[in-house]
């Protein structure tokens, strides 16, 4: 019987074996260790075990149905990157829920951007077919428009228009009088609106 050597191509295609210490511990920790070791089957098992719970939690946190799958995918991408730090002090689902909460907040900010564009521009914030502007395109346009603002304008614009803070709160964070906040916001809105209109017309 042929014994595979390290120079054999089939041997090189095999995944690296997981060391015995990595296989010790509670089943959930073992599964995570297998994922970290590069076991793709383990990652599929973890994904199948937790996707439904993550999606349901995101939905309850207000993520819209059309955004749900993308939001869940982002959560699992973050989970995959942070798995090496998981040591089993808390349940994996608890950790996953924290990532979901962060993603839901991010999703709400993106939705606020889309809603702000819609309120300001009406049909200008929609596609040529009259449908709502896709989230990715809205983010791209907003990011490009924000680049046109000065640092001070951008700070007050983001805090007031996108984060929903009051004028007094913005003034405290920006360390300037409230009157300065309103002045910067006036110019920021005009510059932002002009940039968005240029983007929509291009």
Instruction: Please give the pLDDT value at position 54.
Output: 92
Residues 102-144 have pLDDT tens digits of 888 888 777 766 666 666 555 444 443 344 556 567 667 778 8
**Mean of all residue pLDDT scores within the chain:** 76
Instruction: Please give the pLDDT value at position 129.
Output: 38
Give phi and psi for 34, each to the nearest 5. Answer: -65, -40
Give the model's confidence band at 7: pLDDT under 50 very low, under 70 low, under 90 confident, else very high. Answer: very low
Please enumerate in sequence order all residues whose Cβ is within 8 A of that of 47, keeping only pairs 6 or more positions apart, or say none. 76
What domains does the chain contain, in order, with CATH numbers? 19-107 (1.10.1740.10), 134-202 (1.10.10.10)
Higher model confidence: residue 170 or residue 109? 170
Residue 126's SS3 state is: strand
Give the model's confidence band at 37: pLDDT under 50 very low, under 70 low, under 90 confident, else very high. Answer: confident
Q: Taking 50 as the threshold, does the pLDDT of residue 11 lie above it?
A: no
CA angle 126, 131, 132 (to 5 degrees): 60
Q: How far is CA 188 from CA 49, 124, 136, 145, in A?
A: 46, 19, 22, 10
Q: Taking 60 as the threshold, does the pLDDT of residue 36 lie above it?
A: yes
Residues 46-78 have pLDDT tens digits of 999 999 999 999 998 888 888 889 899 999 998
Beta bridge partners of 132: 126
How far, in whole angstroms, is CA 124 from its chain's centroid?
26
pTM: 0.53
């Amino acid at each position: 019987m042929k014994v595979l050597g390290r120079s054999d191509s089939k041997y090189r295609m095999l995944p690296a074996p997981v060391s015995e210490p990595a296989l010790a511990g509670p089943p959930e920790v073992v599964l995570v260790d297998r994922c970290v070791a590069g076991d793709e089957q383990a990652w599929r098992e973890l994904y199948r075990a937790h996707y439904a719970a993550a999606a349901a939690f995101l939905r309850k946190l207000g993520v819209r149905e059309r955004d749900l799958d993308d939001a869940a995918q982002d959560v699992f991408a973050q989970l995959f990157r942070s798995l090496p730090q998981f040591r089993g002090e808390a349940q994996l689902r608890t950790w996953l829920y924290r990532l979901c909460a962060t993603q839901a907040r991010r999703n709400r900010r993106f939705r606020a951007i889309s809603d702000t564009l819609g309120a300001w521009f009406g049909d200008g914030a929609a596609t040529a077919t009259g449908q709502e502007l896709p989230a990715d395109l809205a983010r791209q346009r907003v990011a490009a428009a924000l680049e046109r603002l000065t640092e001070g304008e951008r700070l007050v614009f983001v805090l007031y228009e996108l984060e929903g803070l009051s004028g007094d709160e913005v003034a405290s964070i920006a360390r300037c009088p409230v009157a300065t906040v309103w002045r910067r916001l006036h110019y920021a809105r005009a510059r932002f609106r002009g940039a968005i209109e240029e983007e929509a017309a291009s």
